[in-house]
Amino acid sequence: MKVRVLGCSGSIAKNCRTTSFLVDGCLLVDAGTGVGDLTLQEMQGITDVLLTHSHLDHVAALPLMLDSIGGLLDAPVRVHALPETIAALRAHLFNNVLWPDFSRIPTVQAPFLSFHPVAVGQVLDIRGKQVEVMPAVHSVPACGYAISAGGAAWVFTGDTERNPAFWKRLNCMAVGALVIETAFSSREKDLARRSLHLSPEVLAEELDQIETAKRFPVYITHTKPAETDLILVEVRQFDHDAPHGKGGVHDIRWLSAGQVMVV
Ligand SMILES: [Zn+2]
Ligand SMILES: [Zn+2]
């Protein structure tokens, strides 16, 4: 399974694109501004979109992408998300004010997109891949995803704060790679807590929830552009100071747009 990083930043700036990952060319995980780097042909290859939550940095490119490829589609793009996320998109985005309601356009029978509600714990079969909906703890209803093609899973936390249920489930899985958010530096840990994001200080405690026998790379995502350098220093610090931290050695790596993870 190949996971192409389209965007892994917490916000925008030159060379910073917001959350989106493309799995095997057909499955888009979140639709942040990174989607804008895809060619028309690559966008046409997307049959399914998994959304973690309704925040703009994760959905901003969805209406624009559908506008670009809508007329070229043979079938609606299937958008999978929690019911609350779908309700938010219907009410606030595809509401014929901010953007046309592409779930009814060009016709109700053959629209550009169709919505498919998911629930935490559910396992979907999408294009031969197993997609498990993982729990997340965020300021709006949110989830993560664990995706596998029969082998170890690529696991994405989505936006989250401390998340005991996530670790409980992850410790029962074969994990090939974990992508975990760290939106703020520890200097901004109060803001991180209030907005239900992680900072390096809390990330260290969260990673300690991984059972010691587990070994897989941990990729940091969703760093705010203005905080990225400091987050990097703080993560290296705790990784260096406690290489055998309570939960074991962590193989921490950095994501960059354009990178391809093979899981
Ligand atoms: Zn969010
Ligand atoms: Zn976000």
Exposed / middle / buried, residue 13 (Cβ in 10 Å: 0-12, 13-18, 19+)? exposed
Q: Which run of H or E residues covers position 238?
A: helix 228-241
How far is the CA of 182 from the CAs of 40, 221, 235, in angstroms?
Answer: 31, 6, 9
Residue 199 DSSP code: -
Q: Which whole number is the average pLDDT over 26-41? A: 98
Q: Return the structure tokens found at 141.
A: 């209803």
How far, in Å, from the CA of 259 to the mean position of ligand 1?
22
- From the number of C-beta atoms within 10 Å of its C-beta (0-12, 13-18, 19+), residue 61 rates as buried
State the pLDDT at residue 241. Answer: 64
The arithmetic mean of pLDDT across residues 40-56, rounded, is 98
Provide the CA 184 distance to its chain's centre, in angstroms: 16
How far apart, in whole angstroms, are the C-alpha atoms of residue 238 and residue 9?
Answer: 21
CB half-sphere exposure, 175, CA atoms < 13 A: 26
Quote the pTM value.
0.96
What pLDDT score does 53 carry? 98
Measured in Å, residue 31 CA sits from the centre of ligand 1 at: 12
Residue 40 is inside which H or E element, if any? helix 40-44
Give residue 53 CA to ligand 2 midpoint distance, Å: 8
pLDDT at 218 over 90: yes
65 CA distance to ligand 1 middle (Å): 20
The confidence band for 47, taking pLDDT boundaries of 50, 70 and 90, is very high
Q: How far apart are the first and last CA of the chain?
A: 5
Report, as an integer, the average pLDDT of 123-150: 97
115 C-alpha vs ligand 2 centroid, how far in Å? 21
Return the pLDDT at 80: 98
| Percent of the chain at pLDDT exceeding 90 | 92
Which of the four pLDDT bands, split at 50, 70 and 90, describes residue 247? very low
The pLDDT assigned to 242 comes to: 59
Percent of the chain with pLDDT over 70: 96
Mean pLDDT of the chain: 94
Q: Which ligand is nearest to the CA of 88?
A: 1
Name the one residue in this structure whose structure tokens are 């804008």.
36
Output the CA 138–ligand 2 centroid distance in Å.
10
157 vs 165: CA distance, rounded Å: 11
At residue 235, the pLDDT reads 92
Phi, psi torsion values for 251, nearest 5 degrees: -95, 80
- Contact criterion met (CB below 8 Å) for 198 and 161: yes
**Residue closest to 133 by CA, chosen among 53, 21, 208:** 53
What are the residues whose beta carbon lies below 5 Å from ligand 1 (ion)? 55, 159
User: Ligand 1 centre and the CA of 196: distance in Å?
Assistant: 8
- At residue 246, the pLDDT reads 47
Using the mean position of ligand 1's atoms as its centre, give its distance from the Cα of residue 220 in Å.
Answer: 15
Q: Which ligand is nearest to the CA of 143?
A: 1
Nearest ligand to residue 9 Cα: 2
Question: What confidence tier does 215 reach under pLDDT thresholds 50, 70, 90?
Answer: confident
